[in-house]
């Protein structure tokens, strides 16, 4: 790369860091890339750090020493998250979203990349300090949330299938009981999709009693993998405490009431926002 | 926002533009946001434009006049695209990827958000000038590609389901014959997922004869929607010309030979790179 003026270098470094979250970049690499002294690079990073932190984009961690460098950790302030989630709750309360069986239509919202990026940034904030190897979800609607989260955490995604596709090779399948409708269902994961002892963050779009998440946990057990965390976009509060299959999860929104007659629903911020 | 120095403003404007592709931002909005003169904003944009274009990140289109402003159009140079695709081809040729039936295991690669972002940026480059309302794919493996493309084009995504889920409301279903195994299959889309007369970009991970893409086109016909383009990540060249169901598509890679005995495959850059 040709030598840049400071102004151009700031633009270039900003895009470079934004495109590489949770990745350690050595000062030497930057100094070589821009043919600049490390002291100039350090000054640039101080400016970028200040803007990122003021804007609530995330943190720039500087590590000193020979193995030192800089790492961009995307974050979202809780206040901004709450205001975005409150707006999402209002949209989810629209009466035309109530479907037979008390389900809520939210596929349209899951189809908006900007919204998924906001939610992914929230999950990336929640789980920023966990030791995670891979993000797991089950097809279909959890997929955009898992990818958005993975992008900000710089992690790969594995998708559990509800059938066993020929294009996946040999797979491990388990049966599970979906808590909401008590039906026995199957989920499977290609043997080569997950290394043994992997630390896995589970992300899903909706959780009622938690049967699907519990199924994913059982599947992880078959791979000798461990659960590093569970994040759900919307949880249903219409579940008795004794029906709830798991306790340790983070939800961003909570569906507390559905009146099928009046089509009135109440959606409030999830347990992430509980003080 | 408090008044920023030029250096901080450049960092802020860079991240602001990167987060809002294909979105017109008026100079007045920037001037208000940064409490700066439009002339200063214009100078900043000139610096950002130069870096973005030098780095091959995309174009900054400036529109003059009262309705004027600036729009960031993410792009990737064909040379860079080709070198990324050649690397992908080499990975796809690994013998352990050959599955029974001549399928290729590529789920692991579809699970890497950075790789999906590269491919999404390529599709966003190909289709940057088309008039598109929405991006469509069919579950499951096309989903990350569709979202990555949608993010760079600032468009929503709709996912065609292979079954008809209760959580989607009323849906339109069609039967189609998958060209590769001649089986009759069903795909469906929620009625409310697509507005009539929508212009739709179809994105998928793999295409053999094109039966699945043709199925999506038939489904679009039911919605009075039109096809604005078709992009596939990998096409199979192991299809006779008379078997091929569609001609107007863009592929990024092409599987030209699979030897099931020796597990040798040949993957070359797709028709996007054909001169």
Q: Supply φ then ψ for residue A233, to 5 degrees.
A: -70, -60
| Largest distance between two CA atoms of chain B | 69
Tell me, yes or no, if B202 comes closer than 8 A to chain A by beta carbon: no
Q: Which CATH architecture has domain A78-269?
A: 3-Layer(aba) Sandwich (3.40)
Using a CB-CB cut-off of 8 Å, the residues of chain B touching A147 are 113, 116, 144, 147-148
What ipTM did this prediction achieve?
0.95
Q: Which of B2, B108, B113 sits opposite A147 (nearest CB)?
A: B113
Q: Please list, in sequence order, all residues whose beta carbon lies within 8 angstroms of the beta carbon of residue B34, skipping any fewer than 6 positions away.
A: B1, B3, B4, B9, B12, B13, B41
Tell me, yes or no, if A260 comes closer than 8 A to chain B by beta carbon: no
Tell me, yes or no, if B159 comes closer than 8 A to chain A by beta carbon: yes
Count Cα atoms within 13 angstroms, Cβ side, for B47: 21
- DSSP secondary structure of A233-244: EEEE--S-TTT-
- pLDDT digits over A163-208, tens only? 766 567 789 999 998 766 678 889 999 999 999 899 999 999 999 8
- pLDDT digits over A6-62, tens only? 999 999 999 999 999 999 999 999 999 999 999 999 999 999 999 999 999 999 999
Per CATH, is A6-74 categorized as 1.10.10.10?
A: yes
Question: Other CB atoms closer than 10 Å to residue B39's CB: what's the count?
Answer: 10
Residue with token string 């000038």: B129
Judged by CB atoms closer than 8 Å, whether chains meet at B140 and A143 is answered as: yes
Distance CA(B2)–CA(B100), nearest Å, equals 61
Nearest to A99, CA basis, from B189, B168, B159? B168
Q: Which of B7, B139, B193 sits opposite A140 (nearest CB)?
A: B139
- pLDDT digits over A167-178, tens only? 677 899 999 987
Judged by CB atoms closer than 8 Å, whether chains meet at A99 and B156 is answered as: no
Distance CA(A161)–CA(A64), nearest Å, equals 44
Judged by CB atoms closer than 8 Å, whether chains meet at A6 and B11 is answered as: no
Q: Which of B47, B147, B150 sits opposite A11 (nearest CB)?
A: B47
Q: Which of B15, B151, B167 sits opposite A18 (nearest CB)?
A: B15
Residue spans of chain B under pLDDT 70: 164-167, 179-181
Q: Tell me if domain A6-74 and domain A78-269 are identical in fold.
A: no
Distance CA(A216)–CA(A222), nearest Å, equals 10
Between residues 137 and 156 of chain B, which touch chain A (CB distance below 8 Å)?
A: 139-141, 143-144, 147-148, 150-151, 154-156
Q: Which of A51, A117, A190 sits opposite B107 (nearest CB)?
A: A190
What are the start-end ranges of the E strands in chain A?
58-63, 69-74, 98-99, 103-104, 134-138, 157-160, 171-177, 184-190, 199-207, 226-236, 250-259, 264-269
Nearest to B84, CA basis, from B118, B114, B55? B118
CB burial readout A112-136, b (16+ within 10 A) else e = bbebbbbbbbbbbbbbbeeebbbbb
User: For chain B, what are the domain ranges?
Assistant: 6-74, 78-269
Count of all residues that appear for chain A in the document: 275
With residue B230 as reference, give the H or E element that holds it.
strand B226-236
Nearest to A111, CA basis, from B133, B174, B215, B165? B133
- Nearest chain B CA: its distance from A67 CA (Å): 24
- pLDDT digits over A219-246, tens only? 999 999 999 999 999 999 877 777 888 8
- pLDDT digits over B200-242, tens only? 999 999 998 899 999 999 999 999 999 999 999 999 987 777 7
Distance CA(B118)–CA(A156), nearest Å, equals 15
Using a CB-CB cut-off of 8 Å, the residues of chain B touching A144 are 143, 147, 157
Judged by CB atoms closer than 8 Å, whether chains meet at A190 and B161 is answered as: no
Residue with token string 């347990």: A271
Question: Other CB atoms closer than 10 Å to residue A97's CB: what's the count?
Answer: 21
Count Cα atoms within 13 angstroms, Cβ side, for A241: 0
Q: Supply φ then ψ for residue A192, to 5 degrees.
A: -85, 0
On the 0-12 / 13-18 / 19+ scale of CB atoms within 10 A, A78 is: middle
Q: What is the pLDDT of residue A237?
A: 86
Judged by CB atoms closer than 8 Å, whether chains meet at B51 and A140 is answered as: no
Using a CB-CB cut-off of 8 Å, the residues of chain A touching B166 are 99-101, 103
Distance CA(B184)–CA(A233), nearest Å, equals 35
User: In this structure, what token pair is assigned to residue B246?
Assistant: 């569609």
């Amino acid at each position: 790369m040709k030598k840049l003026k400071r102004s151009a270098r700031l633009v270039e470094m900003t895009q470079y860091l934004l495109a590489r979250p949770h990745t350690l970049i050595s000062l030497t690499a930057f100094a070589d890339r821009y043919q600049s002294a490390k002291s100039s690079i350090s000054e640039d990073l101080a400016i970028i750090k200040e803007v990122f932190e003021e804007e609530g984009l995330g943190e720039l961690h500087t590590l000193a020493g020979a193995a030192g460098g800089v790492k961009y950790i995307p974050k979202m302030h809780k206040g901004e998250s709450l205001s975005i989630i409150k707006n999402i709750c209002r949209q989810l309360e629209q009466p035309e979203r109530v479907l037979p069986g008390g389900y809520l239509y939210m596929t349209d919202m899951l189809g908006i990349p900007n919204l998924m990026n906001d939610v992914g940034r929230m999950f990336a904030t929640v789980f920023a300090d966990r030791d995670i190897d891979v993000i797991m979800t089950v097809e279909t609607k959890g997929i955009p949330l898992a990818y958005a989260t993975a992008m900000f955490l710089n992690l790969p995604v594995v998708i559990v299938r509800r059938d066993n596709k020929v294009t996946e090779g040999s797979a491990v399948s388990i049966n599970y009981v979906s808590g909401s409708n008590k039906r026995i269902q199957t989920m499977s994961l290609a043997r080569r999709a997950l290394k043994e002892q992997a630390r896995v963050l589970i992300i899903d779009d909706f959780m009622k009693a938690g049967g699907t998440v519990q199924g994913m946990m059982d599947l992880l057990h078959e791979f000798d993998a461990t659960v590093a965390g569970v994040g759900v976009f919307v949880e249903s509060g219409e579940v008795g405490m004794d029906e709830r299959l798991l306790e340790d999860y983070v939800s961003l929104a909570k569906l507390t009431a559905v009146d099928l007659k009046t089509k009135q629903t109440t959606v409030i911020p999830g347990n992430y926002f509980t003080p």
